[in-house]
Amino acid sequence: MLELHRFRLVREALMFRDYLVSIGIPCRLDGLDGQVRLVILQARDFEKAQAVLADFLNDPDSARFREASWQSGIILPEGAFAQAERSYWRHIWQISGRLTLVVMVLCAGVFLLERINPETVLPGLFFASSWSQLELQPYRLLTPVVLHFSWLHLLFNMLWWWELGRRLEMTQGSWRLLSVALFSAVVSNVTQFVWSGPNFGGLSGVIMGLVGYMAAYRWYNPAQTFGLPKGVVIAMIVIMALGMLGWLDAVFGATANAAHLGGLLSGAILGGLLAMVDRRHSRG
């Protein structure tokens, strides 16, 4: 038996397995380390399977693969699918920092409370209505970041927070992630308050802070990539620009554009400063 490939998505593994079987290549699927491993049972078929795999990875949605999957009556061995799913979620847990997950749970919990009792939750967590109130309740500098006003708003922010937050936490630690998040939260919230008043919320200012931090830190320390494709930073800046033009309002409602800009700039400033400090410490 020879291992051919490891799939992250169970459905892709099933589709490819079905196609191999349809062309006469015996194979098997196993759950392993958060992925699905495909094993070729006979060595003489391995080279042919490699060629087919290259075609599949190039175009997994090709009709020939989908048709084979529909026509196949083969199923995973008993327990294999469940094992693969369990391994997958263990893998997700392993690559997610604890602070990253805590913030996600906190935002989700607050969102559920908003649905149950918005009259109490929203006024209690909005930014202060005046600077004098802020002096008495300084926690309001931070609380707007846990507010979300729709399922789409929450899901969008949680996906980006998980993608960016875990990368920073796993490479530089929970304290560094906490520092960046708190700093960008305060700056983005104050910026939005000055721009439009206290009625806003969402984690997107902090997310833009992470984008700015990673981009600036990577600029000064190119070796620190955070495992983040360059296109992600560009995509987030494009999304911010679309929001400032008002093109996202139909999907997400009124967007906190000032918070996005404040978060991006504050994160970039902090990223540049800490990159220089870290580089100096590494030399010393």
- Alpha-carbon distance of 10 to 256, in angstroms, equals 38
Residue among 148, 260, 266, 282 flagged as catalytic: 260
- Alpha-carbon distance of 30 to 25, in angstroms, equals 16
Which residues have CB under 8 Å from 65's CB, separation 6+?
Answer: 15, 16, 18, 19, 56
Clarify whether 5 is annotated catalytic: no
Question: How far lies 43's CA from each of 1, 27, 39, 50, 154, in Å?
Answer: 7, 11, 10, 11, 49
- Parallel, antiparallel, or unpaired for β 27-32 and 35-40? antiparallel
Which one, of 237, 245, 168, 156, lies nearest residue 203 by Cα? 156
Residue among 69, 188, 204, 266 flagged as catalytic: 204
The answer to whether residues 96 and 162 touch, using CB atoms and an 8 Å cutoff, is: yes
Clarify whether 266 is annotated catalytic: no
- Alpha-carbon distance of 20 to 98, in angstroms, equals 40
- Alpha-carbon distance of 186 to 184, in angstroms, equals 6
The answer to whether residues 260 and 156 touch, using CB atoms and an 8 Å cutoff, is: no
CA atoms within 13 Å, Cβ hemisphere of 7: 24
Token duo for residue 151: 């399922």
SS3 state of residue 95: coil
Taking residue 178's Cβ as centre, other Cβ atoms within 10 Å add up to 13
Known catalytic residues are: 204, 260
